[in-house]
Amino acid sequence: MNDSRVQLRSAITSLPAYVPGARIPVGASAYKVSSNENPYPPLPSVVAAIVDAAAEINRYPDMGNTEIAEALATFLNETASEKARARGEITSENIVFGTGSVAVLAHILEAVVDQGDEVIFPWRSFEAYPIVVSVAGGTSVPVDLKDTGELDLDAMAAAVTERTKVVLVCTPNNPTGPSVTHSAVMEFLAKVPRDVVVVLDEAYLEFVRMDDALDALAALEAHSNVVVLRTFSKAYGLAGLRVGYAVARPRVAAGIRAAATPFGVNLVAQRAVISSLEARDELFARVDALVAERTRLQEGLRAQGWNIPDSQANFVWLQLGERTISIAAECTARGLLVRPFAGEGIRVSVGEPEATDLFLELAQEWL
């Protein structure tokens, strides 16, 4: 067919490509540690809920996400810190759902960003940031990470101008892994004007094990311009069903909800979320196992002589510079699919113990 003469928006034609993690070819045998997925299969109870829901897919899902909002609000209140609880309970009015946290982020930007407004984010960070900012009509303002792979919150605060509408704080940062402390975030929030939305993107929250860990809900209660962004894809193992959510003050949440796609979270996904929250003890035991495997991977690399960031997520980062693509190709040839960032480094998800063994073997050879 001949090319169409339809004129696309320049913001669309100039978008950087989002590069997904490599997939295992049909019939091939390899460990897939390229997409930060949970390597465990779904729990039997979650599978049963999915099967039951499949019998009803001729019906639309609950557009208001009523049941999952109530279940999630109960969970958040039960697990909240005393500091967060002291300022009030989370209700369904505070919660907005979408098809993965990246879709919810897009709705946040659609709700507050006008043409040319600035959106600040760390870089290197989540690849979707510059894409969703451009689609919303905003102007990207990337701020370099520290040499340690950590966010430079002082530099991000200094980048705020009169045109700034949103600041994205990815913690733990994808793909480098470090997480910001609660103290640092509260100091940062004190420097940011109250009319600038600060999104605390916590896709890997459940894997954090550190002193002074960020208490995002307490930050939200203290600062009305905070929006907390989370997902069921990683720790809960529902990546294939695409469910993310934001927690915000009711007026802000209502604005985000107004921009969201109607019936965005499908019926099967809603039932899986409820079942997963009910089975959270089993799921979090798996998270603990992945954290232990992350520790083994990091300690193994450091024992070999690698200088790597302190990851608080379910992946590790190796800065390899110009060797990145060739090393990633070598990994593929040896049965290990990693995520390369050309000219920078590779991100390796924590997966099966056998995948850890293989990666450590390869890393020793590269030294």
Which CATH number does the domain housing residue 59 bear? 3.40.640.10
pTM for the model stands at 0.93
Number of domains the chain is built from: 2
| 255 and 303 fall within a common domain | no
| 260 and 197 fall within a common domain | yes
Domain boundary pick from 229, 262, 279: 279
| 199 and 345 fall within a common domain | no
pLDDT at 331: 96
| 71 and 174 fall within a common domain | yes
Does 272 reside within a domain? Answer: yes
Does 5 reside within a domain? Answer: no
| 218 and 104 fall within a common domain | yes
3-state SS of 260-326? CCCCCCCHHHHHHHHHHHHCHHHHHHHHHHHHHHHHHHHHHHHHHCCCCCCCCCCEEEEECHHHHHH
Domain boundary pick from 259, 279, 299: 279
Does 29 reside within a domain? Answer: yes
Question: In angstroms, what CA-CA distances link 253 with 76, 258, 350?
Answer: 16, 9, 33
For the chain, strand residue ranges (E) read 31-32, 95-98, 118-123, 139-144, 164-170, 197-201, 226-231, 244-247, 315-319, 336-337, 339-341, 345-349
| 294 and 267 fall within a common domain | no
pLDDT at 26: 41
Does 342 reside within a domain? Answer: yes
pLDDT at 87: 66
Question: What CATH number has the domain bearing residue 334?
Answer: 3.90.1150.10
Domain boundary pick from 279, 309, 325: 279
Does 353 reside within a domain? Answer: yes
Full domain range(s) for residue 323: 10-41+281-366
pLDDT at 20: 65
| 162 and 303 fall within a common domain | no
| 196 and 50 fall within a common domain | yes
Q: Tell me which residues of the chain have a pLDDT lower than 50.
A: 26-28
